[in-house]
Structure 1
Protein backbone atom coordinates (compact mmCIF):
# COMPACT_ATOMS: atom_id res chain seq x y z
CA UNK A 1 0.00 0.00 0.00
CA UNK A 2 1.31 3.48 -0.86
CA UNK A 3 0.18 6.88 0.32
CA UNK A 4 -1.75 9.00 -2.19
CA UNK A 5 -0.54 12.25 -0.62
CA UNK A 6 3.25 12.70 -0.89
CA UNK A 7 3.39 15.02 2.11
CA UNK A 8 4.43 13.25 5.30
CA UNK A 9 2.86 12.88 8.67
CA UNK A 10 5.17 14.20 11.36
CA UNK A 11 5.67 12.13 14.50
CA UNK A 12 7.31 13.39 17.67
CA UNK A 13 8.37 11.20 20.57
CA UNK A 14 9.71 8.29 18.51
CA UNK A 15 12.34 7.57 21.17
CA UNK A 16 9.41 6.86 23.52
CA UNK A 17 6.68 4.27 23.36
CA UNK A 18 3.67 6.12 21.93
CA UNK A 19 5.61 7.98 19.26
CA UNK A 20 7.39 4.83 18.13
CA UNK A 21 4.06 3.01 17.89
CA UNK A 22 2.49 5.87 15.92
CA UNK A 23 5.38 6.06 13.43
CA UNK A 24 5.38 2.29 13.04
CA UNK A 25 1.63 2.19 12.35
CA UNK A 26 1.84 4.96 9.77
CA UNK A 27 4.75 3.32 7.95
CA UNK A 28 2.92 -0.01 7.93
CA UNK A 29 -0.06 1.80 6.39
CA UNK A 30 2.15 2.98 3.54
CA UNK A 31 2.18 6.62 4.64
CA UNK A 32 5.05 9.03 4.27
CA UNK A 33 6.50 9.76 7.70
CA UNK A 34 8.84 12.38 9.10
CA UNK A 35 10.16 11.59 12.56
CA UNK A 36 11.54 14.35 14.78
CA UNK A 37 14.53 13.72 17.04
CA UNK A 38 17.20 15.77 18.77
CA UNK A 39 19.98 13.21 18.23
CA UNK A 40 20.61 12.08 14.63
CA UNK A 41 21.61 8.65 15.89
CA UNK A 42 18.09 8.16 17.25
CA UNK A 43 16.69 8.64 13.76
CA UNK A 44 18.80 6.09 11.91
CA UNK A 45 16.53 3.12 12.54
CA UNK A 46 13.61 5.13 11.15
CA UNK A 47 15.59 6.29 8.12
CA UNK A 48 16.36 2.65 7.39
CA UNK A 49 12.61 2.04 7.23
CA UNK A 50 12.11 4.88 4.76
CA UNK A 51 11.15 7.72 7.09
CA UNK A 52 12.46 11.23 6.72
CA UNK A 53 14.36 12.44 9.78
CA UNK A 54 14.12 16.01 11.08
CA UNK A 55 16.25 17.44 13.88
CA UNK A 56 14.59 19.77 16.35
CA UNK A 57 14.71 20.95 19.94
CA UNK A 58 11.22 21.20 21.45
CA UNK A 59 12.07 24.61 22.91
CA UNK A 60 13.50 26.06 19.68
CA UNK A 61 10.92 27.76 17.48
CA UNK A 62 12.97 27.78 14.27
CA UNK A 63 13.84 24.08 14.25
CA UNK A 64 10.31 23.12 15.32
CA UNK A 65 8.80 25.19 12.52
CA UNK A 66 11.08 23.55 9.96
CA UNK A 67 10.12 20.10 11.26
CA UNK A 68 6.42 20.91 10.87
CA UNK A 69 6.54 22.56 7.44
CA UNK A 70 4.77 20.93 4.46
CA UNK A 71 3.01 18.08 6.21
CA UNK A 72 -0.38 16.36 6.21
CA UNK A 73 -0.58 16.46 9.99
CA UNK A 74 1.43 15.81 13.12
CA UNK A 75 1.41 13.75 16.30
CA UNK A 76 2.79 16.02 19.00
CA UNK A 77 3.83 15.20 22.54
CA UNK A 78 5.20 17.14 25.49
CA UNK A 79 7.71 14.96 27.32
CA UNK A 80 7.77 15.53 31.06
CA UNK A 81 11.10 16.00 32.79
CA UNK A 82 10.57 14.50 36.22
CA UNK A 83 14.14 15.16 37.34
CA UNK A 84 13.71 18.94 37.13
CA UNK A 85 12.30 21.33 39.69
CA UNK A 86 11.00 23.55 36.88
CA UNK A 87 9.20 20.74 35.05
CA UNK A 88 5.89 22.65 34.89
CA UNK A 89 7.59 25.78 33.55
CA UNK A 90 9.50 23.70 30.99
CA UNK A 91 6.28 21.94 29.95
CA UNK A 92 4.63 25.32 29.36
CA UNK A 93 7.62 26.45 27.27
CA UNK A 94 7.43 23.29 25.14
CA UNK A 95 3.68 23.69 24.75
CA UNK A 96 4.00 27.30 23.67
CA UNK A 97 6.84 26.56 21.25
CA UNK A 98 4.94 23.64 19.70
CA UNK A 99 1.83 25.78 19.27
CA UNK A 100 3.69 28.70 17.69
CA UNK A 101 5.64 26.41 15.38
CA UNK A 102 2.51 24.55 14.24
CA UNK A 103 0.78 27.85 13.49
CA UNK A 104 3.81 29.26 11.66
CA UNK A 105 4.10 26.10 9.56
CA UNK A 106 0.36 26.04 8.76
CA UNK A 107 -0.03 22.46 9.93
CA UNK A 108 -3.50 21.34 8.79
CA UNK A 109 -4.22 19.12 11.78
CA UNK A 110 -2.72 17.81 14.99
CA UNK A 111 -3.17 14.85 17.26
CA UNK A 112 -1.82 15.76 20.69
CA UNK A 113 -1.07 13.30 23.46
CA UNK A 114 -2.90 14.27 26.63
CA UNK A 115 -4.34 12.52 29.65
CA UNK A 116 -7.60 11.71 31.30
CA UNK A 117 -8.21 14.48 33.81
CA UNK A 118 -6.86 17.28 31.61
CA UNK A 119 -10.31 18.89 31.74
CA UNK A 120 -9.88 19.50 35.48
CA UNK A 121 -8.57 22.91 36.49
CA UNK A 122 -6.78 21.73 39.61
CA UNK A 123 -6.04 18.75 41.82
CA UNK A 124 -4.42 16.71 39.06
CA UNK A 125 -0.67 17.02 39.68
CA UNK A 126 1.35 15.97 36.65
CA UNK A 127 -1.75 16.07 34.47
CA UNK A 128 -1.69 19.84 34.78
CA UNK A 129 1.11 19.78 32.21
CA UNK A 130 -1.21 18.08 29.72
CA UNK A 131 -3.81 20.76 30.41
CA UNK A 132 -1.19 23.41 29.55
CA UNK A 133 -0.45 21.58 26.29
CA UNK A 134 -4.14 21.44 25.36
CA UNK A 135 -4.73 25.11 26.11
CA UNK A 136 -1.72 26.32 24.14
CA UNK A 137 -2.63 24.23 21.09
CA UNK A 138 -6.31 25.16 21.26
CA UNK A 139 -5.35 28.85 21.04
CA UNK A 140 -3.89 28.27 17.55
CA UNK A 141 -7.23 27.38 15.97
CA UNK A 142 -5.64 24.39 14.25
CA UNK A 143 -7.88 21.34 13.92
CA UNK A 144 -6.73 19.20 16.84
CA UNK A 145 -7.62 15.93 18.50
CA UNK A 146 -6.61 15.82 22.15
CA UNK A 147 -5.96 12.14 22.77
CA UNK A 148 -6.57 11.72 26.49
CA UNK A 149 -5.04 8.43 27.49
CA UNK A 150 -6.03 6.42 30.53
CA UNK A 151 -3.50 5.24 33.13
CA UNK A 152 -0.63 3.62 31.22
CA UNK A 153 -0.38 -0.13 31.77
CA UNK A 154 3.39 0.28 31.63
CA UNK A 155 3.26 2.30 34.85
CA UNK A 156 2.97 -1.05 36.62
CA UNK A 157 6.23 -2.44 35.31
CA UNK A 158 8.56 -1.37 38.17
CA UNK A 159 6.11 -2.88 40.66
CA UNK A 160 5.77 -6.00 38.52
CA UNK A 161 9.52 -6.50 38.74
CA UNK A 162 9.36 -6.23 42.52
CA UNK A 163 6.48 -8.72 42.65
CA UNK A 164 8.36 -11.22 40.50
CA UNK A 165 11.27 -11.09 42.92
CA UNK A 166 9.35 -11.03 46.21
CA UNK A 167 5.78 -12.20 45.65
CA UNK A 168 4.42 -8.83 46.81
CA UNK A 169 3.03 -6.21 44.42
CA UNK A 170 3.38 -2.65 45.77
CA UNK A 171 0.51 -0.39 44.70
CA UNK A 172 -0.03 3.36 44.83
CA UNK A 173 -3.57 3.00 43.51
CA UNK A 174 -6.19 2.25 46.14
CA UNK A 175 -8.33 0.55 47.21
CA UNK A 176 -6.87 -2.66 45.86
CA UNK A 177 -10.19 -3.89 44.49
CA UNK A 178 -11.15 -0.70 42.62
CA UNK A 179 -10.86 -0.99 38.84
CA UNK A 180 -9.59 1.89 36.72
CA UNK A 181 -9.31 2.36 32.94
CA UNK A 182 -5.81 1.50 31.74
CA UNK A 183 -4.29 1.46 28.28
CA UNK A 184 -1.14 0.10 26.64
CA UNK A 185 1.18 2.72 25.17
CA UNK A 186 1.25 0.77 21.89
CA UNK A 187 -2.51 1.28 21.62
CA UNK A 188 -2.05 5.00 22.24
CA UNK A 189 0.38 5.28 19.34
CA UNK A 190 -1.81 3.21 17.05
CA UNK A 191 -4.84 5.35 17.95
CA UNK A 192 -2.87 8.51 17.18
CA UNK A 193 -1.87 7.13 13.77
CA UNK A 194 -5.47 6.15 13.00
CA UNK A 195 -6.79 9.57 14.01
CA UNK A 196 -4.25 11.35 11.82
CA UNK A 197 -5.52 9.41 8.82
CA UNK A 198 -9.18 10.25 9.51
CA UNK A 199 -11.05 13.29 8.21
CA UNK A 200 -12.24 15.79 10.83
CA UNK A 201 -12.34 19.49 11.57
CA UNK A 202 -12.26 21.66 14.65
CA UNK A 203 -11.32 20.39 18.08
CA UNK A 204 -12.13 16.89 19.28
CA UNK A 205 -11.42 15.13 22.56
CA UNK A 206 -10.91 11.37 22.50
CA UNK A 207 -10.65 9.36 25.71
CA UNK A 208 -8.65 6.19 25.14
CA UNK A 209 -8.88 3.22 27.49
CA UNK A 210 -7.90 -0.42 27.11
CA UNK A 211 -10.14 -3.41 26.43
CA UNK A 212 -11.09 -3.60 30.12
CA UNK A 213 -10.45 -1.90 33.47
CA UNK A 214 -8.07 -3.30 36.06
CA UNK A 215 -7.58 -3.07 39.81
CA UNK A 216 -4.34 -3.72 41.70
CA UNK A 217 -5.87 -7.07 42.72
CA UNK A 218 -6.27 -7.94 39.02
CA UNK A 219 -2.61 -7.14 38.34
CA UNK A 220 -1.60 -9.45 41.20
CA UNK A 221 -3.90 -12.20 39.89
CA UNK A 222 -2.33 -11.96 36.43
CA UNK A 223 1.14 -12.22 37.93
CA UNK A 224 0.12 -15.10 40.18
CA UNK A 225 -1.15 -17.03 37.18
CA UNK A 226 1.98 -16.30 35.16
CA UNK A 227 4.38 -17.20 37.97
CA UNK A 228 2.31 -20.07 39.32
CA UNK A 229 2.72 -18.77 42.86
CA UNK A 230 0.74 -16.43 45.12
CA UNK A 231 1.23 -12.69 44.66
CA UNK A 232 -0.17 -10.34 47.30
CA UNK A 233 -0.99 -6.65 46.94
CA UNK A 234 0.60 -4.20 49.37
CA UNK A 235 -1.14 -0.83 49.08
CA UNK A 236 1.41 1.80 50.06
CA UNK A 237 0.17 4.55 52.40
CA UNK A 238 0.92 8.06 51.19
CA UNK A 239 3.52 8.58 53.91
CA UNK A 240 5.61 5.82 52.29
CA UNK A 241 5.44 7.16 48.73
CA UNK A 242 8.60 9.30 48.91
CA UNK A 243 10.68 6.36 50.13
CA UNK A 244 9.13 4.00 47.56
CA UNK A 245 10.01 6.46 44.79
CA UNK A 246 13.45 7.36 46.10
CA UNK A 247 15.19 5.59 43.23
CA UNK A 248 13.05 7.11 40.48
CA UNK A 249 15.05 10.34 40.24
CA UNK A 250 12.07 12.62 40.86
CA UNK A 251 12.66 16.21 41.85
CA UNK A 252 10.73 17.56 44.83
CA UNK A 253 8.32 19.29 42.42
CA UNK A 254 7.80 16.07 40.47
CA UNK A 255 7.15 14.09 43.64
CA UNK A 256 4.56 16.67 44.71
CA UNK A 257 2.94 16.37 41.28
CA UNK A 258 2.87 12.58 41.48
CA UNK A 259 1.32 12.74 44.95
CA UNK A 260 -1.45 15.12 43.93
CA UNK A 261 -2.19 13.14 40.75
CA UNK A 262 -2.38 9.83 42.61
CA UNK A 263 -4.65 11.33 45.25
CA UNK A 264 -6.88 12.51 42.42
CA UNK A 265 -7.00 9.04 40.89
CA UNK A 266 -7.69 7.34 44.20
CA UNK A 267 -10.37 9.85 45.13
CA UNK A 268 -12.07 9.64 41.70
CA UNK A 269 -11.42 13.35 41.07
CA UNK A 270 -9.61 12.20 37.92
CA UNK A 271 -11.74 9.91 35.77
CA UNK A 272 -12.97 9.18 32.27
CA UNK A 273 -16.47 10.51 32.86
CA UNK A 274 -15.64 14.06 33.92
CA UNK A 275 -15.79 15.59 30.41
CA UNK A 276 -19.08 14.89 28.67
CA UNK A 277 -17.76 16.21 25.36
CA UNK A 278 -15.15 13.44 25.04
CA UNK A 279 -15.52 10.57 22.59
CA UNK A 280 -14.58 7.17 23.96
CA UNK A 281 -12.34 4.69 22.16
CA UNK A 282 -10.72 1.49 23.34
CA UNK A 283 -7.44 -0.20 22.55
CA UNK A 284 -7.14 -3.94 22.11
CA UNK A 285 -4.05 -4.84 24.15
CA UNK A 286 -4.77 -6.61 27.46
CA UNK A 287 -2.60 -6.04 30.50
CA UNK A 288 -1.47 -9.66 30.36
CA UNK A 289 0.22 -9.00 27.03
CA UNK A 290 2.06 -5.94 28.36
CA UNK A 291 3.30 -7.81 31.44
CA UNK A 292 4.44 -10.83 29.43
CA UNK A 293 6.38 -8.57 27.07
CA UNK A 294 8.10 -6.70 29.87
CA UNK A 295 11.87 -7.03 30.11
CA UNK A 296 13.58 -6.05 33.37
CA UNK A 297 16.21 -3.34 33.12
CA UNK A 298 19.59 -3.70 34.73
Structure 2
Protein backbone atom coordinates (compact mmCIF):
# COMPACT_ATOMS: atom_id res chain seq x y z
CA UNK A 1 0.00 0.00 0.00
CA UNK A 2 1.37 3.43 -0.95
CA UNK A 3 2.18 5.70 1.99
CA UNK A 4 1.10 9.28 1.40
CA UNK A 5 2.81 12.28 3.00
CA UNK A 6 0.61 14.46 5.22
CA UNK A 7 2.15 17.51 3.55
CA UNK A 8 0.14 18.89 0.64
CA UNK A 9 0.99 19.36 -2.97
CA UNK A 10 0.55 23.02 -3.82
CA UNK A 11 -1.15 23.75 -7.14
CA UNK A 12 -1.25 27.11 -8.88
CA UNK A 13 -3.41 27.98 -11.86
CA UNK A 14 -6.53 26.12 -10.70
CA UNK A 15 -8.77 28.76 -12.30
CA UNK A 16 -7.22 27.66 -15.60
CA UNK A 17 -7.29 24.33 -17.36
CA UNK A 18 -3.93 22.75 -16.53
CA UNK A 19 -3.91 23.69 -12.84
CA UNK A 20 -7.47 22.45 -12.41
CA UNK A 21 -6.55 19.15 -14.05
CA UNK A 22 -3.46 18.76 -11.86
CA UNK A 23 -5.37 19.46 -8.64
CA UNK A 24 -8.20 17.17 -9.69
CA UNK A 25 -5.78 14.32 -10.45
CA UNK A 26 -3.98 14.65 -7.13
CA UNK A 27 -7.23 14.80 -5.13
CA UNK A 28 -8.57 11.74 -6.93
CA UNK A 29 -5.37 9.92 -5.99
CA UNK A 30 -6.01 10.75 -2.33
CA UNK A 31 -3.23 13.29 -1.86
CA UNK A 32 -3.62 16.41 0.28
CA UNK A 33 -3.76 19.46 -1.96
CA UNK A 34 -3.43 23.18 -1.35
CA UNK A 35 -4.72 25.33 -4.19
CA UNK A 36 -3.55 28.90 -4.60
CA UNK A 37 -5.98 31.54 -5.83
CA UNK A 38 -5.98 35.32 -5.92
CA UNK A 39 -9.73 35.59 -5.26
CA UNK A 40 -10.96 33.57 -2.25
CA UNK A 41 -14.29 32.98 -3.99
CA UNK A 42 -12.50 31.00 -6.69
CA UNK A 43 -11.30 28.53 -4.07
CA UNK A 44 -14.69 27.55 -2.62
CA UNK A 45 -15.33 24.62 -4.96
CA UNK A 46 -11.89 23.26 -4.16
CA UNK A 47 -12.47 23.65 -0.43
CA UNK A 48 -15.71 21.68 -0.82
CA UNK A 49 -13.64 18.87 -2.34
CA UNK A 50 -11.32 18.84 0.67
CA UNK A 51 -8.48 21.01 -0.60
CA UNK A 52 -6.79 23.66 1.50
CA UNK A 53 -7.06 27.12 -0.04
CA UNK A 54 -4.29 29.73 0.04
CA UNK A 55 -4.78 33.26 -1.23
CA UNK A 56 -1.84 34.95 -2.92
CA UNK A 57 -1.01 37.40 -5.66
CA UNK A 58 1.84 36.00 -7.74
CA UNK A 59 3.86 39.19 -7.25
CA UNK A 60 3.54 39.18 -3.43
CA UNK A 61 6.62 37.47 -2.03
CA UNK A 62 5.25 37.09 1.51
CA UNK A 63 1.95 35.60 0.38
CA UNK A 64 3.68 33.33 -2.13
CA UNK A 65 6.09 32.06 0.52
CA UNK A 66 3.22 31.28 2.88
CA UNK A 67 1.35 29.49 0.09
CA UNK A 68 4.38 27.28 -0.57
CA UNK A 69 5.31 26.66 3.06
CA UNK A 70 5.27 23.08 4.41
CA UNK A 71 4.65 21.43 1.05
CA UNK A 72 5.98 18.24 -0.48
CA UNK A 73 5.97 19.81 -3.95
CA UNK A 74 4.27 22.41 -6.12
CA UNK A 75 2.97 22.89 -9.63
CA UNK A 76 3.80 26.47 -10.60
CA UNK A 77 2.74 28.54 -13.58
CA UNK A 78 3.56 32.00 -14.92
CA UNK A 79 0.30 33.34 -16.38
CA UNK A 80 0.65 35.64 -19.35
CA UNK A 81 -1.37 38.84 -19.32
CA UNK A 82 -2.01 39.46 -23.00
CA UNK A 83 -3.96 42.67 -22.48
CA UNK A 84 -0.99 44.48 -20.90
CA UNK A 85 1.79 46.34 -22.67
CA UNK A 86 4.17 45.28 -19.90
CA UNK A 87 3.32 41.57 -20.10
CA UNK A 88 6.97 40.56 -20.50
CA UNK A 89 8.07 42.70 -17.54
CA UNK A 90 5.22 41.33 -15.44
CA UNK A 91 6.22 37.77 -16.36
CA UNK A 92 9.75 38.54 -15.18
CA UNK A 93 8.43 39.82 -11.84
CA UNK A 94 6.25 36.72 -11.37
CA UNK A 95 9.17 34.44 -12.24
CA UNK A 96 11.46 36.19 -9.77
CA UNK A 97 8.84 36.14 -7.02
CA UNK A 98 8.03 32.46 -7.56
CA UNK A 99 11.71 31.51 -7.44
CA UNK A 100 12.41 33.53 -4.30
CA UNK A 101 9.30 32.18 -2.55
CA UNK A 102 10.18 28.57 -3.40
CA UNK A 103 13.63 29.05 -1.87
CA UNK A 104 12.26 30.80 1.22
CA UNK A 105 9.64 28.09 1.76
CA UNK A 106 12.18 25.26 1.22
CA UNK A 107 9.97 23.50 -1.35
CA UNK A 108 11.71 20.20 -2.14
CA UNK A 109 10.56 19.99 -5.75
CA UNK A 110 8.63 21.91 -8.38
CA UNK A 111 6.93 21.13 -11.64
CA UNK A 112 6.83 24.28 -13.77
CA UNK A 113 4.62 24.74 -16.80
CA UNK A 114 6.69 25.77 -19.81
CA UNK A 115 6.46 25.44 -23.58
CA UNK A 116 8.19 23.77 -26.47
CA UNK A 117 10.62 26.31 -27.87
CA UNK A 118 11.77 27.48 -24.43
CA UNK A 119 15.24 26.16 -25.29
CA UNK A 120 15.53 28.73 -28.11
CA UNK A 121 17.30 31.98 -27.23
CA UNK A 122 15.24 34.17 -29.56
CA UNK A 123 12.56 34.20 -32.23
CA UNK A 124 9.85 32.68 -30.04
CA UNK A 125 7.61 35.59 -29.05
CA UNK A 126 5.38 34.70 -26.11
CA UNK A 127 7.48 31.62 -25.37
CA UNK A 128 10.29 33.90 -24.19
CA UNK A 129 8.25 34.29 -20.99
CA UNK A 130 8.44 30.51 -20.44
CA UNK A 131 12.18 30.57 -21.07
CA UNK A 132 12.55 33.32 -18.48
CA UNK A 133 10.49 31.29 -15.99
CA UNK A 134 12.80 28.32 -16.54
CA UNK A 135 15.91 30.46 -16.12
CA UNK A 136 14.78 32.10 -12.88
CA UNK A 137 13.69 28.83 -11.27
CA UNK A 138 16.82 27.06 -12.49
CA UNK A 139 19.07 29.75 -11.04
CA UNK A 140 17.27 29.49 -7.69
CA UNK A 141 18.54 25.94 -7.24
CA UNK A 142 15.18 24.31 -6.46
CA UNK A 143 14.80 20.87 -8.03
CA UNK A 144 12.40 21.53 -10.90
CA UNK A 145 10.91 19.55 -13.75
CA UNK A 146 10.12 21.91 -16.60
CA UNK A 147 7.04 20.64 -18.41
CA UNK A 148 7.30 21.92 -21.97
CA UNK A 149 3.86 21.51 -23.46
CA UNK A 150 3.09 21.43 -27.17
CA UNK A 151 0.45 23.63 -28.84
CA UNK A 152 -2.72 23.38 -26.75
CA UNK A 153 -5.57 21.62 -28.55
CA UNK A 154 -7.98 24.02 -26.85
CA UNK A 155 -6.34 26.92 -28.73
CA UNK A 156 -8.63 25.93 -31.60
CA UNK A 157 -11.74 27.01 -29.67
CA UNK A 158 -12.32 30.43 -31.34
CA UNK A 159 -11.50 29.09 -34.80
CA UNK A 160 -13.84 26.13 -34.35
CA UNK A 161 -16.60 28.54 -33.31
CA UNK A 162 -16.12 30.42 -36.59
CA UNK A 163 -16.14 27.17 -38.55
CA UNK A 164 -19.44 26.15 -36.97
CA UNK A 165 -20.95 29.49 -37.99
CA UNK A 166 -19.47 29.90 -41.45
CA UNK A 167 -18.20 26.52 -42.69
CA UNK A 168 -14.66 27.95 -42.90
CA UNK A 169 -11.93 27.22 -40.35
CA UNK A 170 -9.45 30.11 -40.15
CA UNK A 171 -5.91 29.24 -39.10
CA UNK A 172 -2.70 31.08 -38.32
CA UNK A 173 -0.72 27.87 -38.78
CA UNK A 174 0.67 27.14 -42.22
CA UNK A 175 0.93 25.25 -44.46
CA UNK A 176 -2.49 23.75 -43.69
CA UNK A 177 -1.43 20.15 -44.21
CA UNK A 178 1.74 20.26 -42.10
CA UNK A 179 1.21 18.33 -38.88
CA UNK A 180 2.35 19.78 -35.56
CA UNK A 181 2.51 18.34 -32.03
CA UNK A 182 -0.57 19.30 -30.02
CA UNK A 183 -1.68 18.35 -26.52
CA UNK A 184 -4.88 18.55 -24.48
CA UNK A 185 -4.71 20.72 -21.38
CA UNK A 186 -6.17 17.85 -19.34
CA UNK A 187 -3.13 15.78 -20.25
CA UNK A 188 -0.82 18.64 -19.22
CA UNK A 189 -2.43 18.71 -15.77
CA UNK A 190 -2.33 14.95 -15.31
CA UNK A 191 1.32 14.88 -16.43
CA UNK A 192 2.15 17.61 -13.91
CA UNK A 193 0.51 15.55 -11.16
CA UNK A 194 2.45 12.45 -12.19
CA UNK A 195 5.75 14.34 -12.30
CA UNK A 196 5.15 15.76 -8.82
CA UNK A 197 4.83 12.22 -7.52
CA UNK A 198 8.08 11.01 -9.07
CA UNK A 199 10.85 10.15 -6.65
CA UNK A 200 14.13 11.99 -6.75
CA UNK A 201 15.08 15.65 -6.69
CA UNK A 202 16.91 16.08 -9.99
CA UNK A 203 16.13 19.00 -12.27
CA UNK A 204 15.04 18.02 -15.76
CA UNK A 205 12.91 18.73 -18.80
CA UNK A 206 9.89 16.86 -20.13
CA UNK A 207 8.26 17.62 -23.47
CA UNK A 208 4.58 16.72 -23.73
CA UNK A 209 2.58 16.19 -26.91
CA UNK A 210 -0.58 14.29 -27.73
CA UNK A 211 -0.80 10.74 -29.08
CA UNK A 212 -0.10 12.00 -32.63
CA UNK A 213 0.57 15.20 -34.58
CA UNK A 214 -2.19 17.09 -36.35
CA UNK A 215 -2.51 19.65 -39.16
CA UNK A 216 -5.08 22.45 -39.55
CA UNK A 217 -6.62 20.40 -42.36
CA UNK A 218 -7.21 17.61 -39.84
CA UNK A 219 -9.06 20.03 -37.56
CA UNK A 220 -11.32 21.09 -40.43
CA UNK A 221 -12.05 17.45 -41.25
CA UNK A 222 -12.98 16.76 -37.63
CA UNK A 223 -15.33 19.75 -37.49
CA UNK A 224 -16.85 18.65 -40.80
CA UNK A 225 -17.42 15.12 -39.56
CA UNK A 226 -19.11 16.37 -36.39
CA UNK A 227 -21.32 18.89 -38.22
CA UNK A 228 -22.02 16.56 -41.16
CA UNK A 229 -21.29 19.37 -43.61
CA UNK A 230 -18.23 20.58 -45.54
CA UNK A 231 -15.69 22.76 -43.74
CA UNK A 232 -12.84 24.46 -45.59
CA UNK A 233 -9.52 25.76 -44.25
CA UNK A 234 -8.51 29.39 -44.72
CA UNK A 235 -4.91 30.28 -43.88
CA UNK A 236 -4.81 33.85 -42.61
CA UNK A 237 -1.96 35.94 -44.04
CA UNK A 238 0.14 37.79 -41.49
CA UNK A 239 -1.36 41.08 -42.64
CA UNK A 240 -4.73 39.85 -41.32
CA UNK A 241 -3.56 38.56 -37.96
CA UNK A 242 -4.14 41.77 -36.03
CA UNK A 243 -7.73 42.22 -37.23
CA UNK A 244 -8.47 38.52 -36.72
CA UNK A 245 -7.39 38.85 -33.08
CA UNK A 246 -9.28 42.09 -32.40
CA UNK A 247 -11.84 40.38 -30.14
CA UNK A 248 -9.03 39.00 -27.96
CA UNK A 249 -8.06 42.57 -26.98
CA UNK A 250 -4.33 41.88 -27.07
CA UNK A 251 -1.96 44.74 -26.34
CA UNK A 252 0.47 45.86 -29.06
CA UNK A 253 3.27 44.06 -27.24
CA UNK A 254 1.20 40.88 -27.05
CA UNK A 255 0.33 41.04 -30.75
CA UNK A 256 4.01 41.40 -31.62
CA UNK A 257 4.81 38.41 -29.41
CA UNK A 258 2.05 36.35 -31.00
CA UNK A 259 3.31 37.16 -34.50
CA UNK A 260 6.90 36.21 -33.69
CA UNK A 261 5.79 32.96 -32.03
CA UNK A 262 3.55 32.02 -34.96
CA UNK A 263 6.32 32.70 -37.46
CA UNK A 264 8.54 30.45 -35.32
CA UNK A 265 5.97 27.66 -35.40
CA UNK A 266 5.32 27.97 -39.12
CA UNK A 267 9.03 28.07 -39.93
CA UNK A 268 9.82 25.08 -37.65
CA UNK A 269 12.15 27.25 -35.55
CA UNK A 270 9.99 26.17 -32.60
CA UNK A 271 10.35 22.38 -32.60
CA UNK A 272 9.42 19.89 -29.89
CA UNK A 273 12.53 17.82 -30.65
CA UNK A 274 15.07 20.65 -30.57
CA UNK A 275 16.39 19.95 -27.06
CA UNK A 276 18.14 16.56 -26.84
CA UNK A 277 18.20 16.77 -23.03
CA UNK A 278 14.41 16.50 -22.76
CA UNK A 279 12.37 13.40 -21.97
CA UNK A 280 9.49 12.95 -24.41
CA UNK A 281 6.07 12.14 -22.96
CA UNK A 282 2.78 11.64 -24.78
CA UNK A 283 -0.74 12.30 -23.55
CA UNK A 284 -3.69 10.06 -24.33
CA UNK A 285 -6.37 12.57 -25.32
CA UNK A 286 -6.88 12.78 -29.07
CA UNK A 287 -7.62 15.96 -30.97
CA UNK A 288 -10.81 14.31 -32.21
CA UNK A 289 -12.10 14.16 -28.63
CA UNK A 290 -11.32 17.83 -27.98
CA UNK A 291 -12.68 19.14 -31.30
CA UNK A 292 -15.86 17.08 -31.07
CA UNK A 293 -16.57 18.56 -27.63
CA UNK A 294 -15.78 22.10 -28.83
CA UNK A 295 -18.18 21.72 -31.77
CA UNK A 296 -20.97 20.33 -29.60
CA UNK A 297 -20.71 23.30 -27.25
CA UNK A 298 -21.20 25.65 -30.22
CA UNK A 299 -24.16 23.90 -31.80
Q: How does 1:173-252 map to 2 (within 5 A)?
A: 173-252=173-252
2: CA distance, partners of 1:139 / 1:202: 14
Q: How far does the alpha carbon of each residue in 1:128-182 deviate from its partner, in whole angstroms, 9 at most, with x for none?
A: 0000100000011111000000000010010000001110000000000000000
Runs of at least 5 residues in structure 2 that lack an aligned partner in the other structure: none
Alpha-carbon RMSD: 1.1
Q: Which residue of 1 aligns with 2:292?
A: 292
Q: Which residue of 2 aligns with 1:93?
A: 93
Q: Conserved in 2, the CA contact under 8 Å of 1:138 and 1:144?
A: yes
Q: Which residue of 1 aligns with 2:107?
A: 107
Q: Which residue of 1 aligns with 2:40?
A: 40
Change over 3 Å in CA distance of 1:44–1:3 after alignment to 2: farther
Q: Which residue of 2 aligns with 1:70?
A: 70
Q: How far does the alpha carbon of each residue in 1:104-143 deviate from its partner, in whole angstroms, 9 at most, with x for none?
A: 0000000000000000000000000000100000011111
Give 1:293 deviation, angstroms: 2.3
Give 1:202 deviation, angstroms: 2.1
Q: How does 1:156-175 map to 2 (within 5 A)?
A: 156-175=156-175
1: CA distance, partners of 2:166 / 2:257: 29
2: CA distance, partners of 1:287 / 1:20: 20
2: CA distance, partners of 1:293 / 1:168: 18
1: CA distance, partners of 2:3 / 2:112: 22
1: CA distance, partners of 2:16 / 2:180: 24
Q: Conserved in 2, the CA contact under 8 Å of 1:170 and 1:236?
A: yes
| Number of aligned residues | 297
Q: Conserved in 2, the CA contact under 8 Å of 1:34 and 1:54?
A: yes
Change over 3 Å in CA distance of 1:217–1:105 after alignment to 2: same
Give 1:296 deviation, angstroms: 5.1
Question: What secondary structure does 2:273 align onto?
Answer: helix
Give 1:43 deviation, angstroms: 0.3
2: CA distance, partners of 1:39 / 1:222: 38
Q: TM-score, normalised by structure 1?
A: 0.98
2: CA distance, partners of 1:17 / 1:157: 13
Give 1:15 deviation, angstroms: 0.2
1: CA distance, partners of 2:297 / 2:4: 42
2: CA distance, partners of 1:266 / 1:278: 22
Question: What secondary structure does 2:187 align onto?
Answer: helix
Q: How does 1:17-36 map to 2 (within 5 A)?
A: 17-36=17-36
2: CA distance, partners of 1:213 / 1:24: 26
Q: Conserved in 1, the CA contact under 8 Å of 2:222 and 2:292?
A: no
Question: What secondary structure does 2:53 align onto?
Answer: strand
Give 1:3 deviation, angstroms: 5.8
Q: Conserved in 1, the CA contact under 8 Å of 2:223 and 2:292?
A: no
